[in-house]
Structure formats: C-alpha cells, structure tokens
Amino acid sequence: MIFDIPENGGMRKKAYPSDITREQFEQIRPLLESARKRTKPTTVDFYEVFCAILYLLKSGCQWRMLPGEFPKWRTVHSYFAKWSEPRGEDGSLLEQALKKNRLARPVPDRGAAPQRAS
C-alpha cells in the first residue's frame, strides 16, 4: 500500500480518547479492506480513517467539524458510507469491525415495553 505520510512520520500530533491502537486495528484491517476495489494504490491510511469514524461516533460532531489532524472529512465520509452498507445478517463491515474490537454498544430492543422501577 502507498500512503501519504505526514512530515511527523505518519503520527497525528494529538491522540483522542476514541482512538484504538494500531495492533487492535490490524485485527480488523482485512475486514475493512475487503470493501475496497483494487483499482489503484491506496493513498489514505485506513487506521486514520477508522479513528476519525470512531471520533465522530463518540463525539457526535458534524462531518465538517472533524479535526484537521484526521483525513479530509469527505474521505472519511465516503469510507463511512461504504463500510456502513448492509451485508446480510452479519451487519455492515463497520458493525462487524466494532463488534470484533468490542467497541459496539448493545442496541436496546425498541419494541420492548419500558420497564417500571420497583
């Protein structure tokens, strides 16, 4: 793979609480790369894209308010859209990646009746 490496050696200046380690990311890299068409070399670091998505999911910020240390928001959004496409009963690639790293929160059953406090 070919990456545009920033002058600081590929590392962001700031780490965010939503980041995962590169070791954790290597466990899900093949899953996320499976959505990519192999037409030309990659110019973006998937780790940085995934951390940007985690930041967005945790902070709830708008796409255009993504910190400049991450890849461009349009790039992050395009991968988010690609990785969020439904893929059968296993869910989207993003859901599978979050589950594999135990980052997904359980989704409450919206059809269940609310429980009363006793």
Q: What is the pLDDT of residues 72-87, one digit of tens each?
A: 999 999 999 999 999 8
Q: Please report where in the chains the tokens 């928001």 appear, as a residue.
A: 73
Residue with the two structure tokens 């990646």: 97
**What pLDDT score does 113 carry?**
52
Q: Model's pTM, two decimal places?
A: 0.75
Tell me the range of 9-23, 39-53, 66-80, 101-115 where mean pLDDT is highest.
Answer: 66-80
What are the start-end ranges of the H helices in 2-91? 22-33, 46-59, 73-83
